[in-house]
Amino acid sequence: MSSGRKDFASGPVRTSRKRVGFWAASWVSVLLLLTGATSLLNGNQTPAGSPQPDATASAAPLSSVSLTFDSGRASQMEAARILKDHGLRGTFFIDSGFVGAPDYMTVENLHTLATNQNEIGGHTVTLADVTAVEPDEASRQICKDRANLTDWGFKVTSFAYPFAASTAKSEELVAGCGYNSARGLGEIHSPFDCAACAQAETVRPTNLFRTRATSEVGSGWTLASLEATVVQAEQAGGWLQLTFYDIDTSGSPRSVSPALFEQFATWLAARTQQGTMAVRTVHDVIGGVAKPAVNGPVAAPAAPGKNALRNPGLEIAGKYGLPQCWQVSSYGKNAVVLTTLNPGRSGEVARRLDVTEYSSGDAKLLPVLDLGACAPSVMAGHKYSLRAWYQSSAKTQFELYYRNKLGTWTFWTASPWFAANTRYEQAIWETPPVPPGAEAISFGMNLFSDGQLATDDYEMYDTVGAPSP
């Protein structure tokens, strides 16, 4: 008796199980560029009739521009088409756990990018802030993403930090996962911010695992501001990284219209003919070989008879008013608020979901959909006993998701309904056998109507050795 198909506000979730080396540049290329051999890098001489560099341009220091794209958004395929039309290439940083999800690229899209000599880089499996999770989880997110992309046939040497968040420790983890460089954001001057910052990164960055870039290009940028940012980098000499998200007409703060991107690409292509700069992938600038893939730490299933959940009583506070290791997730049309109740059923606190303006979908509190720090690992074919204490003004049910070996989360199944009640009762349900290929599950009690649902004291056991309720 499921309430239907489920998606997450917190990140893409697949509703189907279907899943679906191209560069050799090195510091030699950089030296060629710095000595003015731009025509050699482009593979040809300046065509007859092409615009000739003016005296000012000829006197300017040489520089490189890298066009980078974050998260593997499907709309970026339009940017890839435009780049190809103008003989340009970019670097696409991919969250492999989202590949194939709605609004994201497919594996086939990634191969099209690589065929056209674009670079495929890493961005973690599920767009994780690697500074906000424990080191083992950060390592899994970084290493597993690179391993997934490598398994799909790509040479992966470049990384970009989600949310531009890094520390000395996370930079060490990126290097340990086999990357050659990692990009931040917001540390190069643009017309919009960072007035005191440098106008370009150095050709050989001081810190390869925190290379500097402008803030993300969005709807506030114009052709003039894009051109001005490139020109200032040319004048300073060095390397400029520009970062894009959606290439569409939505007008959202993180989008750039295809028309503007086309104008910018046209201008860049003409600019390269002046001999003062070249458009190059991140790997072309940094160089180095593609190292073997590295596996992150394994998150083992809980031992028989042990509660597999972290922070099961919701007592430990996390960020943003949420319990540590738990998230609120919803889909459809409804408004949801999470409230802290004092006291809880058995401890200091419980948590209550308040759903209003309900039209469709549902809302739930469940363990964070990660790679093992919070979402409990499971064994395929095993059954699990799920338990939680609840009181509710409306019927509710357990709703389950599983993670496959790629790190992609998928809706699995739901329990029968549990009736509304005005005092705490324990909901208990045994899952079907875990599907083949599933490595972890996450579950929560949901509301699929207006109402209130308070929960506390969650438990999850392998049915082998599970204690009596």
Angstrom distance (rounded) from CA 303 to CA 215: 46
What angle do the packed helices 135-151 and 168-176 form, to 10 degrees?
Answer: 30
Give how far Cα 116 sits from Cα of 23, 80, 84, 159, 217, Å: 11, 9, 7, 20, 23
Per-residue pLDDT at 11 = 45
pLDDT digit string, tens, across residues 295-312: 999 999 999 999 999 999
Question: DSSP H helical segments within 152-239, as ranges?
Answer: 168-176, 223-236
**HSE-up of residue 374 (Cα within 13 Å, Cβ side):** 23
Angstrom distance (rounded) from CA 99 to CA 114: 15
Give how far Cα 121 sits from Cα of 65, 70, 297, 426, Å: 17, 9, 21, 46
- The pTM assigned to this predicted structure is 0.85
Q: What is the DSSP secondary structure assignment for residue 97, as one 8-state letter? A: G
Angstrom distance (rounded) from CA 448 to CA 457: 22
- Here the tokens at position 199 are 């106008």
Q: Quick check: bond before 343 cis, omega within 30?
A: yes
Report whether 189 contacts 198 (CB < 8 A).
Answer: yes
Q: Name the residue with tokens 């000395």.
A: 168
Of 458, 429, 421, 468, residue with least CA distance to 344:
458
| Pairing assessment for the beta strands 91-94 and 63-70 based on DSSP bridges | parallel
pLDDT digit string, tens, across residues 239-273: 999 999 999 999 999 999 999 999 999 999 999 98
Per-residue pLDDT at 374 = 98
Per-residue pLDDT at 39 = 30
Of 199, 204, 235, 202, residue with least CA distance to 214:
199
- pLDDT string in tens for the chain (469-residue length): 444 444 433 444 433 333 333 333 333 333 333 333 333 223 333 333 333 333 333 334 468 999 999 999 999 999 999 999 999 999 999 999 999 999 999 999 999 999 999 999 999 999 999 999 999 999 999 999 999 999 999 999 999 999 999 999 999 999 999 999 999 999 999 999 999 999 999 999 999 999 999 999 999 999 999 999 999 999 999 999 999 999 999 999 999 999 999 999 999 999 998 887 899 999 999 999 999 999 999 999 999 999 999 999 999 999 889 999 999 999 999 999 999 999 999 999 999 999 999 999 999 999 999 999 999 999 999 999 999 999 999 999 999 999 999 999 999 999 999 999 999 999 999 999 999 999 999 999 999 999 999 999 999 999 999 999 8
| Pairing assessment for the beta strands 255-256 and 246-247 based on DSSP bridges | parallel
Per-residue pLDDT at 62 = 63
